[in-house]
């Protein structure tokens, strides 16, 4: 038994493990990051893993951690890719998977209390059995936890019509550093729920949420349009969205090499390079009139309506964006939020990059409100070929730069996006965030080494030139390769 484990309060000891094999499982997330990249300057393998079964366990852990000055990294499903839930400085990982109780339900008010470790898909299934559903949910619902999603901003399908998860949260149970348990409501001005949204587990450990549900819609309908030119797609959506009958969700796809890429991911190769799928949920009237209005818009654009089955299939596959990986071996990419008005600008930038670097790319995104799109751009790489993989990694920063030029910003910070902090938040926002952190966690126990400032190697002064150089080198190699062939 490790020394740290013996120091842990007795009640927590049986919920904890110091087995190296177990701890290794917590030293990574979805990002395929080579071990040597995290080598000496980070301590990604925790010293202990604790799996609490109650908020009291979490409170005991945080009280002890503060006293012993041990870092604690909360973790849901570990299904993010910026190391949000991977320790940067060792310590304890608090795996919240077993805080997964769903209920009690208040079906008159249409609310449910749900443990932070609940898998979102399980919650949706349970709600649907009772005639309700979640107003918004992420594409990763079968993997992610509700607490993890909230801590990472709570954006998802349906946000266009219903707002993000914050809009649905009626109450939040959070354990603060030191072990104080708080139940926060929407009118709490001293400790607003908003502070915790997207805080990446750095202010407190969310243990329970009260969610307002949506009645299962009476009807749904899906319609898809293909565009020759992405600018027309942008224009179509912008104009449509300022009228009535807002869709529940709009997803768009843009590829740099058309059908070939679509075929690689089992989509119809005949689909156009740019298309969007709009999904209408609600009363029969709302769905029918929405689809009619969209069809009426068609005449003003050079646009092709895609067969209904394709639109429906697209929605059915809403959790399966990752099937891209099948054609891997590895996927790299960037998640950004870009103004709808700049989407054509952004995708043109992607096209230029793809051509210059000879790297086909695929971009898809969904609207999170009338003005903004949550966009993911992906390309294939091979993490087993270390050099080319490292060169490819530099393209991720190029994607971010394209987004920044299009007035967008990266989504999430964790560890790997700390070089972009100043682009993601204004100086005022950063100051406010830091003040909150100091107020709630002055000893920097919770999830340290991330979110607020970049570590040495990731400071923009080091990181940006390094990425530029690597990208230049990659381009050079590509050119040489092209000349030879």
What DSSP letter does each residue of 28-97 carry, written as one string?
Answer: --SS---HHHHTTT-B-S-SEEE--SSHHHHHHHHHHHHHHT--EEEESS---SSSTTS-SB-SEEEE-T
- Looking at beta carbons only, is 143 or 349 nearer to another protein? 143
322 binds another protein (CB under 8 A): yes
97 binds another protein (CB under 8 A): yes
49 binds another protein (CB under 8 A): yes
**Distance set, CA 290 to CA 179, 240, 369, 401, 447 (Å):** 50, 10, 17, 36, 45
- Looking at beta carbons only, is 121 or 425 nearer to another protein? 121
Q: How far is 478 from 356, CA to CA, in rounded Å?
A: 8
326 binds another protein (CB under 8 A): yes
- Looking at beta carbons only, is 93 or 159 nearer to another protein? 93
Q: How far is 1 from 3, CA to CA, in rounded Å?
A: 7
| Residue from 25, 18, 94 nearest 54 by CA | 94
384 binds another protein (CB under 8 A): yes
**Window contacting another protein (CB under 8 A); options: 77-85, 191-199, 292-300, 394-402:** 77-85
- Looking at beta carbons only, is 328 or 465 nearer to another protein? 328
- Looking at beta carbons only, is 137 or 346 nearer to another protein? 137
119 binds another protein (CB under 8 A): yes
246 binds another protein (CB under 8 A): no
User: Least distance (Å) from another protein to the CB of residue 19?
Assistant: 7
User: Least distance (Å) from another protein to the CB of residue 326?
Assistant: 5
21 binds another protein (CB under 8 A): yes
**Window contacting another protein (CB under 8 A); options: 138-146, 182-190, 206-214, 304-312:** 138-146
Residue 459, C-beta contacts closer than 8 angstroms, at least 6 positions apart:
419
User: Tokens in use for 69?
Assistant: 């000055």
330 binds another protein (CB under 8 A): yes
User: Tokens in use for 117?
Assistant: 């470790």
- Looking at beta carbons only, is 123 or 403 nearer to another protein? 123
- Looking at beta carbons only, is 41 or 320 nearer to another protein? 320
Give me the sheet containing 102-106, strands edge to edge.
Answer: 102-106, 111-115, 205-212, 169-175, 181-185
Here's the x/- map for another protein, 165-194, by CB under 8 A: it reads as ------------------------------
Choose, by CB under 8 A, the member of 7, 9, 11, 19 that binds another protein. Answer: 19
Helices in 223-358 by DSSP H: which ranges? 230-241, 259-264, 284-298, 308-316, 343-357
Residue pair 209/168 in contact (Cβ under 8 Å)? The answer is no
Choose, by CB under 8 A, the member of 8, 12, 18, 29 that binds another protein. Answer: 29
User: Least distance (Å) from another protein to the CB of residue 151?
Assistant: 16
105 binds another protein (CB under 8 A): no
SS3 category, 105: strand
Question: How deeply is 336 buried, as exposed, middle or buried, from its count of CB atoms within 10 A (0-12, 13-18, 19+)?
Answer: buried
Residue 361, C-beta contacts closer than 8 angstroms, at least 6 positions apart:
255, 256, 350, 353, 354, 377, 378, 379
Find how far residue 280's CA is from the centre of its chain.
Answer: 23
3-state DSSP of 357-377 = HCCCEEEEEEECCCCEEEEEE
Residue pair 92/47 in contact (Cβ under 8 Å)? The answer is yes
Instruction: Give the count of residues interacting with another protein (CB under 8 A).
Output: 38
Choose, by CB under 8 A, the member of 110, 142, 192, 259 that binds another protein. Answer: 142
User: Least distance (Å) from another protein to the CB of residue 413?
Assistant: 20
Residues paired with 132 in a beta bridge? 215
388 binds another protein (CB under 8 A): no
78 binds another protein (CB under 8 A): yes
**Distance set, CA 258 to CA 265, 267, 273, 400 (Å):** 12, 11, 5, 22
Pairing of strands 48-50, 92-95: parallel
122 binds another protein (CB under 8 A): yes
Choose, by CB under 8 A, the member of 8, 12, 16, 17 that binds another protein. Answer: 17
- Looking at beta carbons only, is 120 or 413 nearer to another protein? 120
- Looking at beta carbons only, is 36 or 242 nearer to another protein? 36
478 binds another protein (CB under 8 A): no
| Residue from 249, 258, 261, 254 nearest 363 by CA | 254
36 binds another protein (CB under 8 A): no
- Looking at beta carbons only, is 157 or 195 nearer to another protein? 157
74 binds another protein (CB under 8 A): no
Residues paired with 410 in a beta bridge? 336
User: Tokens in use for 112?
Assistant: 């449910």
Neighbouring C-beta atoms of residue 62, cutoff 10 Å: 27
**Window contacting another protein (CB under 8 A); options: 57-65, 118-126, 187-195, 348-356:** 118-126
79 binds another protein (CB under 8 A): yes
385 binds another protein (CB under 8 A): no
Give contact residues for another protein (rule: CB under 8 A): 17, 19, 21-22, 24-26, 28-30, 49, 51, 77-79, 95, 97-98, 119, 121-122, 140, 142-144, 319-323, 325-326, 328-331, 383-384
């Amino acid at each position: 038994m490790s020394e740290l484990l013996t120091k842990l309060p007795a009640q927590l000891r049986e919920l904890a493990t110091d087995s190296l094999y177990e701890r290794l499982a917590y030293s990574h997330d979805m990002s395929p990051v080579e071990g040597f990249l995290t080598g000496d300057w980070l301590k990604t393998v925790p010293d202990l893993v604790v799996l609490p079964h109650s908020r009291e366990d979490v409170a005991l852990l945080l009280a002890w951690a503060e006293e012993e000055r041990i870092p604690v990294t909360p973790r849901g499903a570990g299904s993010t890719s910026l190391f949000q839930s991977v320790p940067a400085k060792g310590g304890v990982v608090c795996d919240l998977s077993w805080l997964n109780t769903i209920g009690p339900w208040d079906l008159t008010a249409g609310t449910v209390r749900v443990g932070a470790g609940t898998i979102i898909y399980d919650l949706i299934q349970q709600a649907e059995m009772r005639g309700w559903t979640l107003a918004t949910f992420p594409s990763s619902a079968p993997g992610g936890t509700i607490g993890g999603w909230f801590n990472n901003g709570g954006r998802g399908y349906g946000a266009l019509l219903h707002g993000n998860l914050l809009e649905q949260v009626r109450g939040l149970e959070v354990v603060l550093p030191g072990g104080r348990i708080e139940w926060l409501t929407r009118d709490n001005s001293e400790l607003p729920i908003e502070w915790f949204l997207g805080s990446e587990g750095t202010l407190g450990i969310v243990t329970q949420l009260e969610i307002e549900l949506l009645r299962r819609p009476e009807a749904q309908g899906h319609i898809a349009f293909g565009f020759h030119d992405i600018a027309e797609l942008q224009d179509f959506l912008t104009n449509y969205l300022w009228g009535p009958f807002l869709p529940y969700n709009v997803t768009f796809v843009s590829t740099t090499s058309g059908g070939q890429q679509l075929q690689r991911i089992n989509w119809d190769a005949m689909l156009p390079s740019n298309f969007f799928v709009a999904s209408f949920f609600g009363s029969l009237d709302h769905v029918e009139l929405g689809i009619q209005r969209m069809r009426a818009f068609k005449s003003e654009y050079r646009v092709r309506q895609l067969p209904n089955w394709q639109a429906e299939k697209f929605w059915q596959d809403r959790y399966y964006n990752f099937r891209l990986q099948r054609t891997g071996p590895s996927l790299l990419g960037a998640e950004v939020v870009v103004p709808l008005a700049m989407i054509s600008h952004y995708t043109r930038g992607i096209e230029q990059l793809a051509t210059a670097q000879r790297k086909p790319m695929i971009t898809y995104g969904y609207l999170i409100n009338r003005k903004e799109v949550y966009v993911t751009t992906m390309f294939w790489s091979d993490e087993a070929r270390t050099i080319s993989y490292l060169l490819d990694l530099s393209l991720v920063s190029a994607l971010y730069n394209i987004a920044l030029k299009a007035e967008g910003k990266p989504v999430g910070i964790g560890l790997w996006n700390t070089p972009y902090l100043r682009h993601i938040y204004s100086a005022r926002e950063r100051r406010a965030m830091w003040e909150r952190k100091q107020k709630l966690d002055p000893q920097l126990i919770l999830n340290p080494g991330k979110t607020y400032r970049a570590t040495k190697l990731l400071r923009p002064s080091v990181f940006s030139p390094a990425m530029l150089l690597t990208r230049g080198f990659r381009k050079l190699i590509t050119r040489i390769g092209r000349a030879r062939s």
